[in-house]
A and B are shown apart, each in its own frame.
Chain A
């Protein structure tokens, strides 16, 4: 497996001096399925933003396929897709098909290739038949799947989903989990940022827990002790534990 990302001594401080995280080292390989978890404010979304080059490190660097992200991010844009928690702001088309075609049209592909990719991405996200619908008429789950389709149409090597299960009902959660399962089989690198571990951890190869700006755990999910989750503000996703190990308020 080749190395996709290498994070070296990454630190991020806000303008008021608050340190989000400091000196983080991390390596992510092609084909991995990683869940980044942690309590609210632990820095997990910020870490994901650094991986796609939309936040600037205070110290350290992120290296994508051997190249420092502080240089050219064009290769990253072609290879790494990011789905925000707030999918509304990610929708850029007047219709579902137009929105999905936005990314491929920026890759300067031929119109027929754009159409092919759009159809394939919509089928992967189970949105075939909704091509001409206006995005604002979609449900929350459908919007999330549309955001995923919009990124998949660019055929990325890596997909990062930020809180993909937030505000979704069970059926929509299952749809997202199923899409993740299919993407994992296709060999794409998947990074899921969430604290809802019970929904997705069973599919993941690797779990990273962030707390107070530090990596507290990085390894196989099965190697994580049940107590570890509660200690870092997370519900234990293992059978027989959830939700009883969750600390009482």
Chain B
């Protein structure tokens, strides 16, 4: 569903630019993929300590964390199972599998920090500004215009619309259950009208949102206000670059 769990003003990180945080996330993720075990563990511990310090709750990480755990476990099994020498599992592959799991964990922690402190619309505005910049470049230098619509608005609307789709599904399912859906063994027969209603509700919701946008004068040339980089933003981006440099030096 919507990975952006932004609860505004909860974290001081929410006051930083989405772009500087994105630069930091890209740098830290890339560095995590090359770090040796000790700096990697330090990075994970640093990320975990950063969360309470920046008032970011651990709550809500369980399911996604478990999914990453399953992925790491699957990877470890595939890496070690039936090595071809008659054994069932090659134990010596476990350190490498552990390192892979730690790398995933590091990316997960920092990605979580990013998503809960960033507005989807802010990130979307950067996308739209970039699209406008590219279109402007082609118009100026190539003498031709290319069509790049408003990707930021698309991101924003998708993230707005997805939870509504799930809510619609829940409503339809509850209404069906209250009228006996699930009592019969053959659920398929009851599922078709449910799906029909669900699809109809979703299309109706999408049309209503489009109509609302039209009534409020939606234009692809809408004003986009991007946050200026503060000193803290520069410091954050620079610290990401430093981590990348350290990883490049083989630390």
A residues adjacent to B (C-beta < 8 A): 52, 54, 74, 77-78, 81-82, 84, 86, 88-95, 98, 102-111, 114, 132-134, 136, 150-151, 154
Contacts and interface: CB of A to CB of B under 8 A. Distances in A.
B225 A114 contact: yes
Nearest to A52: B215
Contacts of B172: none
Given A92-B160, A94-B156, A98-B121, A106 B215 contact: no
Contacts of A94: 4, 6, 119-121, 156, 159-160
B122 to A, nearest CB: 9
A213 to B, nearest CB: 23
Interface stretch (B100-108, B135-143, B203-211): B203-211
B217 A92 contact: no
Nearest to B119: A94
A82 B208 CA distance: 13
B231 to A, nearest CB: 21
Contacts of B9: 132
Given A94-B160, A108-B222, A150-B216, 13 more contacts: A74-B217, A77-B214, A77-B217, A86-B208, A89-B209, A89-B211, A92-B156, A103-B216, A107-B223, A114-B223, A114-B225, A136-B163, A154-B216
A52 B216 CA distance: 11
Contacts of B157: 92
A80 B160 CA distance: 25
A237 B119 CA distance: 47
A132 B214 contact: no
B218 interface: yes
Given A94-B120, A105-B223, A106-B222, A154 B217 contact: yes
A205 to B, nearest CB: 25
A54 B211 contact: yes
A18 to B, nearest CB: 20
23 contacts: A77-B215, A78-B217, A89-B208, A89-B212, A92-B209, A92-B212, A93-B160, A94-B4, A94-B119, A94-B159, A102-B213, A102-B218, A103-B217, A105-B222, A106-B217, A106-B218, A108-B222, A109-B223, A111-B225, A114-B223, A132-B8, A133-B8, A150-B216
